[in-house]
């Protein structure tokens, strides 16, 4: 049995939706040199390589539609936004992220201790920039999960050997709460440094009684549950037996499973 009092990290996906605006005091490259605005400075070289390749594919190489998987006005808007990346105004990630996970997390309403844990213990896995912390400064951009760049390949394949050692270091002796979809979870080739890995799944029960993945609400529910985790520095799976989501998801021990130090918790409605 893994100890209850373990400290943790929380892994979440970056959202494709980003909030516009920001402060134009410095550009992204300058922010990369400030450790307060770039927690994962060891990834700077690789981050700029991925970014340069991505932007070239949208502009000079003419692969925007294929890379972004958009059409029409949405494609035009996304291309303009991305090509302005290097000089665009910056916001910290916590403000920039605009998807359902961060809306449900509602960071401004957390108490000071929980906000401190959020900034220290949450890590975003991003298909374009690798790893980000909530305090890192980034411009507005759009890059889909699984982006493929002709002549370069998958951004996932590029990042996998580069972010795995960093995640291993962050996981050392910790309980890892992962809200990553399978495609992003696959970017981490684990070396066994973590004390426990907890994958969280949200499901719904069909009329026939089958448990089905609740894809539509998964990120919002991840935000709700992250709020609960952040209430304590050592929240454990045992602390969640009585938790119920706003839509009625509760822990299903019969669907959850454990193999070694890897546990899958299923919350179903």
Q: What is the rounded average pLDDT of the residues 54-82?
A: 94
Tell me the pLDDT tens digit for each residue of 165-178: 999 999 999 999 99
Mean pLDDT value across the chain: 95
More confident residue, 161 or 1: 161
CA gap 37, 107 in Å, rounded: 18
Q: What is the rounded average pLDDT of the residues 96-113?
A: 95
Tell me the pLDDT tens digit for each residue of 228-258: 999 999 999 999 999 999 999 999 999 999 9
Sign of torsion over alpha carbons 242, 250, 193, 42: negative
pLDDT of 3 > 70? The answer is no
Q: Are 134 and 51 a contacting pair, CB within 8 Å?
A: no
Q: What confidence score (pLDDT) does residue 57 get?
A: 96
Q: What confidence score (pLDDT) does residue 208 get?
A: 87
Q: Are 226 and 122 a contacting pair, CB within 8 Å?
A: yes
CA gap 13, 101 in Å, rounded: 9
Residue 229, SS3 per DSSP: helix
CA gap 139, 117 in Å, rounded: 24
Q: What is the rounded average pLDDT of the residues 103-122?
A: 97
CA gap 189, 110 in Å, rounded: 33
Containing 202, the helix (H) or strand (E) segment is: strand 196-205
pLDDT of 218 > 80? The answer is yes
pLDDT of 1 > 90? The answer is no
């Amino acid at each position: 049995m893994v100890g209850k009092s373990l400290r943790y990290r929380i892994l979440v996906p970056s959202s494709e939706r980003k909030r516009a605006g920001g402060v134009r005091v410095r550009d992204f490259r300058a922010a990369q040199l400030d450790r307060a605005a770039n927690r994962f400075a060891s990834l700077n070289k690789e981050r700029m390589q991925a970014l340069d390749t991505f932007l070239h594919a949208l502009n000079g190489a003419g692969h925007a539609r294929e890379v972004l998987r958009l059409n029409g006005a949405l494609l035009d808007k996304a291309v303009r936004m991305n090509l302005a990346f290097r000089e665009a105004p910056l916001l910290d990630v916590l403000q920039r992220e605009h998807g359902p996970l961060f809306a449900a997390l509602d960071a401004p309403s957390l108490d000071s201790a929980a906000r401190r844990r959020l900034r220290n213990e949450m890590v975003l896995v991003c298909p374009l920039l690798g790893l980000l912390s909530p305090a890192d400064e980034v411009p507005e951009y759009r890059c889909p999960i699984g982006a493929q760049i002709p002549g370069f390949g998958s951004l996932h394949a590029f990042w996998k050997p580069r972010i795995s050692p960093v995640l291993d270091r962050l996981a050392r002796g910790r309980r890892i709460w992962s809200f990553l979809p399978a495609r992003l979870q696959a970017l981490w080739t684990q070396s066994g440094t973590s004390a426990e890995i907890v994958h969280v799944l949200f499901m719904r029960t069909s009329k026939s009684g089958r448990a089905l993945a609740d894809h539509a609400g998964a990120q919002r529910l991840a935000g709700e549950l992250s709020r609960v985790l952040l209430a304590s520095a050592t929240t454990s799976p045992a602390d969640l037996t009585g938790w119920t989501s706003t839509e009625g998801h509760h822990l299903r021990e019969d669907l959850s499973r454990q193999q070694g130090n890897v546990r899958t918790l299923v919350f179903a409605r």
